[in-house]
Amino acid sequence: SLFRLKDLEVPKLGDCDVHVKMLAAPINPADINMIQGTYPLLSPLPAVGGNEGVGEVLEVGRRVAALKPGDWVIPANAGLGTWRTQGVFPEEMLLKVPSDIPVLCAATLSVNPCTAFRVLADFESLAPGDSIIQNAANSGVGQAVIQIARASGIKTINVVRDRPDLPKLVERLMALGADHVVTEEMLRKPEMKDIFKSIPRPRLALNCVGGKSTTEMLRHLQPKGTMVTYGGMAKQPVMVPVSAFIFRDVRLRGFWMTQWRKDHAEDQESVAAMMDALCQLIRRGQLTAPACTELPLQDYRAALEASMKPFVSSKQILLL
């Protein structure tokens, strides 16, 4: 119960500020980690939670050029505090997005799809017909990876934890464009060889789990392949057999979207190119919002609890 719903005065609009009415904001694992103090970003307290979301511009300061009332905006960086109905922010903390995309797509755009886009683009140069393997394939990033890869002709092998409603989950991921969905247990089975009759071994593995899941996934990576770790949901280290390094020369890399944004703060072209590419996919129906449960801000306690349950297949979204 670190949380309270609180009424605050909306601060005065400065010359370079933008007054935003928030429309929707999701609850992500990193938001919870930030509140627990286990994340490298700590906001000075008292703070507003939430790193992602979409809002509508109500009013702009007289020196704001790039935004006008009615525009839709999303956070340019983590730490904005999106779980609120309204806010006044400096213009550089916001990115304009088109208002002709679905509100849930815009609300979930700045973290997961961007992460998926970067991990697919920045580590291996993948060509149509190549394959990748990823764990936690039903996560927000996982769902975006499936769809972005599909749109580029890249095959995906998607690892999920075994669960009571597995067939339903498999069906949902296949509908998004997954080529193969396997459980962590299946990674060790000889049947994996059958998959590689029709598609090449992956050159890229995406890990957001850690522990045994990661070690098993690594076995299937091509020689000189890369594994990128962008999360650690099992809270266990990544274990790599020495032979994988020596005889297969695999590469282990890490990725943090917040760091990428810092590194590209002066490079607005890269940011714009990524946002354009993602918005194009959304408009063509090739990238959808993850499965969402929408709740009003008043129900924030229920939303937080639901977001921390195991085997969650739906992202909690606060409607503001």
Parallel/antiparallel/unpaired status of strands 204-207 and 226-229: parallel
Phi, psi of 172 (to 5 degrees): -65, -40
Q: Residue written as tokens 């700590």?
A: 42
- For residue 182, give the 3-state DSSP assignment: strand
DSSP 44: P
Q: Are 181 and 170 in contact (CB under 8 A)?
A: yes
Q: Are 50 and 74 in contact (CB under 8 A)?
A: no
- For residue 306, give the 3-state DSSP assignment: helix
Write the CB contacts of 11 (distance below 8 Å, at least 6 apart in sequence).
88
Catalytic residue check, 39: yes
Q: Are 178 and 149 in contact (CB under 8 A)?
A: no
Q: Which of 39, 232, 277, 299 is catalytic?
A: 39
CA distance linking residue 262 with residue 59, whole number of Å: 27
Nearest to 76 by CA among 89, 91, 95: 95
59 sits in which H/E element: strand 54-60
CA distance linking residue 218 with residue 207, whole number of Å: 10
> What residues are labeled active site?
39
